[in-house]
Amino acid sequence: MSGLQLGSWDELKALAAPLRMKVFVDEQGVPAEMELDDDDMHCLHAVIVDDAGRAVATGRLLPVFADGPDQGLARIGRMAVNLEHRGIGLGARVLDALLSASRRRGDAGVVLHAQCRASGFYAGRRFVERGETFDEGGIEHIEMVVRY
């Protein structure tokens, strides 16, 4: 594997967008119009590329909430790993990079919407479930939070 890259949407869109469409839309059946959104332009993106330069894992860190109960928390989302590359720690590398960037930025912690089948992955990194499960894009999710 080549390295992990952090950058803006302008810098990493060409890598991250096709992988997200493949994982979320093609594989998991999320409606295509839900996948790419205006938030992408305001996020820090993480991408891991293979030796051929293809994205195999990605995620994004959104800005912090300015007010409300989650004031000072950031949001992580769009965590995706190519099917053939799952189970070898790439998702953990992306998540750890985004959490490190969040800490460096001075965020109070992170909230995310975990697919229920992946909640154990996040719990292993100290995320705690919050609230009831809910449907997002036709997939059952649970909100999870970690505070620093």
Structural domain count, the chain:
1
Cβ atoms within 10 Å of 122's Cβ, excluding its own = 23
- The pLDDT-based confidence of 1 (bands split at 50, 70, 90) is low
Mean pLDDT of 58-75: 93
Q: In whole angstroms, give the CA distance from residue 69 to residue 35.
A: 26
- The 10s digit of each residue's pLDDT in 8-57 is 999 999 999 999 999 999 999 998 888 999 999 999 999 999 999 999 99
Which residues lie closer than 8 Å to 32 by C-beta, 6 or more apart? 21, 25
State the CATH number of the domain containing residue 36.
3.40.630.30
Name the residue range of residue 121's domain.
4-147
